[in-house]
């Protein structure tokens, strides 16, 4: 969700500088459950505890701002310290 908010800010900045990008940005995720929650907007018992602020990624995916792609955990550079 934080990644999508940063992306929205950078897109607005690019538009201001007349360098707009219409293609969806790839967001790589190694958690299949997260990918399923982004792509499937239906409410499930196990997902009702998720805070509302984290649902922004669904909105960004629905608007075509991002595409969520699966990446193997060993290849995920964001998780290098975890």
Q: Tokens standing for 3?
A: 């990644």
pLDDT at residue 17 in the model = 92
20 contact partners, CB below 8 Å, separation of at least 6: 11, 14
Q: Kindly report the pTM of this predicted structure.
A: 0.68
d(CA 33, CA 15): 33
Q: Which residues pair with 29 in a beta bridge?
A: 70
Angle at 52 between CA 46 and CA 58, to 5 degrees: 80
Residues 53 and 72: their CA atoms lie apart, in Å, by 26
pLDDT greater than 70 at residue 42: no
pLDDT of res. 52: 67
Average pLDDT of the chain, as a whole number: 79
């Amino acid at each position: 969700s934080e990644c999508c908010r940063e992306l929205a800010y950078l897109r607005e900045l690019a538009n201001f500088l007349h360098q707009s990008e219409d293609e969806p940005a790839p967001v790589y995720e190694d958690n299949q459950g997260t990918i399923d929650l982004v792509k499937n907007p239906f409410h499930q018992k196990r997902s009702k505890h998720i805070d509302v602020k984290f649902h922004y990624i669904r909105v960004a995916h629905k608007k075509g701002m991002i595409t969520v792609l699966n990446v193997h955990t060993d290849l995920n550079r964001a998780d290098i310290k975890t």
